[in-house]
Structure 1
């Protein structure tokens, strides 16, 4: 079994068989991890303004290591799918637009030469998934009169109702009499069902919603996508309904090639997120070919904890590592 090793530029050098060596991605799709951190992001501001004794080692790194060279610097969880279709045309599909979206654009869109966003898919309406929506205008053509094609955004009816309160000016269809035109992001709201039997297509790529428990009073969506390689993306989960676990498990509908999964804390448990002990138990049940973990707090030290996960991977026969901001994974979808 190949180990999960990082190259200098942050790509996985050996994630066999589905994710090739860095640079071997001509004509392929890629997954770009724009953010891999929790809602408050890493570094945790409190660790810097009221430092402990000794200081938090992970958060303190941000004071002397540039973010692009620091895998412990984590923005809000978000994934960009650079989807290469059969005709070689590319579409750019964004999953979640959190509080740190502008920073992610400046850092990773520029590095990887991402020219635009063609579609947006939302997992839920919490702040770390939607509060960057105002900044979508930064990746749209400039028009002071808003005379541009809107970006399709796929979300549940529940999320739509919440966003209509948070961002009424982004949802409003027509100006009221006497209301001035102001330049805002132009979005085309598309309601989807939170049902794994009700798939939808965004920019040519089929998505299957995976409703999971994000605290016992709340449903959040994950998504299953890809035909050549099946990818499950589940960013916010505390418990899997049996029907959804069946859809993505080796002993159910079929093994997924890559599972991208929530893990908030390194120890213990949490009421609305999986923590590492529960995440690893879920991986042993679901048994993906490979897994990348996201949503981490400052409890995780990227290199040290990936050493632990490499040993766990050998023992359990499931390749798993912590992802990091800027990770770019070539993949056939």
Structure 2
């Protein structure tokens, strides 16, 4: 089983899906992107390994645009694939020009917007390249909340009301579909393609005026769950993610942030989410995350967490598939005793997340020898392989059709 694609890895698990064929990562960085201007304008790149590599190796894994992904699939009765774009930010077009033709993509069936920040919506105007003169398609459907729509209308009034366009009046043809953060919705059928059900995954992404919570959406499509921007996942949303074969999780940087998961929080999610997905993926990295060194830290962390169980250094009680011993993931009141994935924090004798955040690293309390696959089969809580994503990564799914 393998992950294929331009930069694929043969040793990764292969998630399964009844609809998805592949997921293409169009961007895996923050709104600031990588490299950062304040690093590349210093003679020594500001001692920033990621920015140095991104500059000297512009097609490498440290070069990052704004976080975005394209989910590609079809129903058994469909006559063609559908491409669903998640977010359309500042670097969407420049990355699409590279990665769409490389992966045989052309039309966009729908755009799902997670929230109204610049890295998610500032590329909407570039959709004109798809619709002007019917070059590729007549229109693009956009799915977004009313809160997001209000910001888009203020930022791009001519995209919502074509009578407000100036100049030659050449603007993209977009059809706006308002969704609720709390209700599943359907991407309407089109020629040769049946409708597609999408489940919003509401998460907290910072605050409005540092008092009221700012809601952001992740999305679940079939067996794939995607959360790119969050600092907390409500227990009700965790339940909606149950059974996912592949999960993408926000992991901004090593230390704690007000509106994003740290690496420790993201890994806490995968260590405590049950049942675990076949594959965990991380995204939305700052320029202080160097791809290769960080992936090595994550792999060492996972091996140690599994080895500690094999060696009997922790006792992990079995969890039902929908959460903790009580049969649920617990209320938000007792989250302090739980991991970010809703299960128990069984690793306290092995791993101190807060200390890792303070020291801006990933390190367990002990060093462990590598464990073999046979030993892992006997542990109480399996942790999936967790991989850093990169711009251009293609994750293929095993078809259940």
Partner of 2:185: 199
Provide the C-alpha distance between the structure 1 equivalents of 2:282 and 2:236, rounded to a whole number of angstroms: 22
Whichever of the two has the greater Rg, that structure is 2
Report the CA distance between 1:142 and its aligned residue.
2.8
- Structure 2's unaligned 5+ residue stretches are 190-194, 208-212, 307-382
Retained in 2: the 8 A contact 1:19–1:329?
no
Is the CA contact 1:236–1:273 (under 8 Å) kept in the aligned structure 2? yes
Matched, 1:33 2:25: yes
Q: 1:216-258: CA deviations, max 9, x gaps?
A: 43000001111xxx1110010001112112322xxxxx33211
Residue 93 (structure 2) aligned to one of 102, 118, 137: 102
Secondary structure of the equivalent of 1:142? helix
The answer to whether the 8 A contact 2:68-2:85 is kept is: yes
Partners of 1:96 and 1:121 within 8 A in 2: yes
Q: Distance in 2 between matches of 1:156 and 1:51?
A: 45
| CA separation of 1:125 and 1:54: change in aligned 2, threshold 3 A | closer
| 2:204 is the alignment partner of 1:218 | no
CA deviation vs aligned residue, 1:114-134 (integer Å, no higher than 9, x gap):
112121110011000000001
Instruction: Report the TM-score, using the length of structure 1 for normalisation.
Output: 0.84
Partner residue in 2 for 1:247: 240
Note the aligned Cα RMSD (angstroms): 2.7
Distance 1:18 1:312 in 2: 22
Matches of 1:90 and 1:238 in 2, distance apart?
34
Selected match of 2:171 from 159, 167, 184: 184
Distance (whole Å) between structure 2 residues aligned to residue 205 and residue 311 of structure 1: 39
Q: Is 2:138 the partner of 1:149?
A: yes
Q: Which residue of the partner structure matches residue 61 of structure 2? A: 71
* 1:185-235 C-alpha deviation (Å, 9 max, x unpaired): 11000000000x433335632110111000143000001111xxx111001
Per the TM alignment, residue 52 of structure 1 is displaced from its structure 2 partner at its CA by: 5.4
Displacement, 1:165?
Answer: 0.3
SS in 2 for 1:220: strand
Q: Tell me the distance in 2 between the aligned counterparts of 1:110 and 1:46.
A: 32
Does structure 2 retain, via aligned residues, the 8 Å contact 1:116–1:140? Answer: no
> How far 1:54 moved relative to its partner?
5.5
Q: Tell me if structure 1 keeps the 8 A contact 2:205–2:230.
A: yes
**Any residues of structure 2 matched to 1:268-307 within 5 Å, and which?**
268-287=255-274, 288-289=276-277, 290-307=279-296
Secondary structure at 1:218's aligned position in 2? strand
Q: Choose 79-88 or 255-264, whichever is displaced more.
A: 79-88
Among 207, 226, 245, the alignment partner of 1:257 is 245
Q: Give TM-score scaled by structure 2 length.
A: 0.71
